[in-house]
Every structure is written in structure tokens, then in C-alpha cells.
Amino acid sequence: MIDPTLREIALATKGFMPPEEGDALFEAAVRAGKSVPSLNMVEVGSYCGRSTVWVGAAARACGVTLYAVDHHGGSEENQRGWEWFDDTVVDPATGRINTLPFFTETMTRSGLTDTVRAVVGDSAVLGATWAESLSFLFIDGGHGREIARADFLAWHEHVALDGVLAIHDVFTDPSAGGQAPYEEIYLPAISSGKFREVSATGSLRVLVRVR
């Protein structure tokens, strides 16, 4: 279990990760780090750092680095006029969402600045040129279909054999939530034959790479 103080910090941070799913995310990342030691981890979609605390704590426990990838301009569903818009993350100088200061403050509060490296940019572009294998990959980026598909295509091959791919907001029932993570990430991962599901907690799916 994650350190209780870090868990409190995660839960006090803006974001969308339920506590039980965050705990499962931490445990999956720790298992991945032990199964494939010395390989670093990547989180796609960090927002203000809520989920990053759980994954960062796991990376620190495993002695590796977590690269937190986000453009920090907010996903489609975070924009003005959408359900998950939060005007407190809008930069008054530009009128645009900028979650990077919130993310940085969260990492400072949690004491994870030596473990977590913020990588600011477009996930698909960064993933396409990524050069190292990963023990753990967590995809929780934009939930538009094209964005979700691009995240999967850019990153999934970097997961090492016996490493873990974790996917957030996987809903098989359309009435429960958007379908992009399910149809554009989860189903392609399973149908590829390269990943096998090992656990499900709420909308979090944990898959291990088997070939």
C-alpha cells in the first residue's frame, strides 16, 4: 500500500482518479517494477498530478524514474463548455488551461521531484520517437477517439515483455462513460495477442505483456 501521507496528498489533488483505482494503480506499478527491474515508467496524461503521486511512489519504491507526459493544456473534455471544465486551472494571462503549475506543486508537496520527470508535449509525437523499453505504461490521456488511438499506437510497443499496460476509464457500457479508452486502447491491446488482462478495479484495467 502507498504511504498514507502520499495517499492523502493524491486525494487532495485535482483530478479524476478514484481512491481504490489509485491504490490498484500503485500496486500494479510496483509489481511491474519488480517483474522487469531497472526499466523506467511512463504516465500518459497527468493533469494536476493526482494519479502521478500513486505511480511516482511506485517508481520510487522500485528505484526507477517516472516520465509524466502531458501537454498540460487540458483534454477535450476539460475545455470550457464541457462537463469536466474547471476554471481554476485557466491561466488568467492567456485564458487557456495550464495545469503544469498545479502538477509541479503536487510533485513538490509529495517529495517526488527526484523521481518524476515532467515531459511537456504531444503524447503521440513523443511516443513515436521514444527510445527505451518500459516496465510500466499508464495511459490516461485525451478521451477523443483519435487521441486515444494515437496514444496506444505510439506507446504500447515500448512496454517490455512481462511489463504492464494500465488503462484508465475503460467502460464496456456506453451509459457508464465514453468508449474511446475501451475501443481504441483496451480492445486493440487484447486483440493484438500481446497483452493479457490481469486485473480490473472500477474503470482501471491492468494488462501484462505476454509476447
Q: Which residue has the cell 486525494?
A: 11
Query: What pTM was estimated for this model as a whole?
Result: 0.95
pLDDT at 10: 98
Query: How does DSSP assign 89-120, residue by residue?
Result: GEETTTTEE--HHHHHHHHHHHT-TTTEEEEE
Q: What b-and-e string marks burial along 163-198, b requiring 16 or more CB atoms within 10 Å of the CB?
A: bbbbbbbbbeeeeeebbbbbbbbbebbeeeebbeee
For the question of residue 168 being annotated catalytic, the response is no
Which among 71, 72, 143, 156 is annotated as catalytic?
A: 143
Q: Determine contact, residues 89/14, Cβ cutoff 8 Å.
A: yes
pLDDT at 195: 98
The partner residues of 116 in beta bridges, in order of sequence, read 66
User: Judging by DSSP bridges, how do beta strands 195-201 and 204-209 pair with one another?
Assistant: antiparallel
CA distance 207 to 193: 11
Could you read off the pLDDT tens digit of each residue along the chain, which spans 211 residues?
A: 999 999 999 999 999 999 999 999 999 999 999 999 999 999 999 999 999 999 999 999 999 999 999 999 876 666 676 566 677 888 888 888 899 999 999 999 999 999 999 999 999 999 999 999 999 999 999 889 999 999 999 999 999 999 999 999 999 999 888 899 999 999 999 999 999 999 999 999 999 999 9
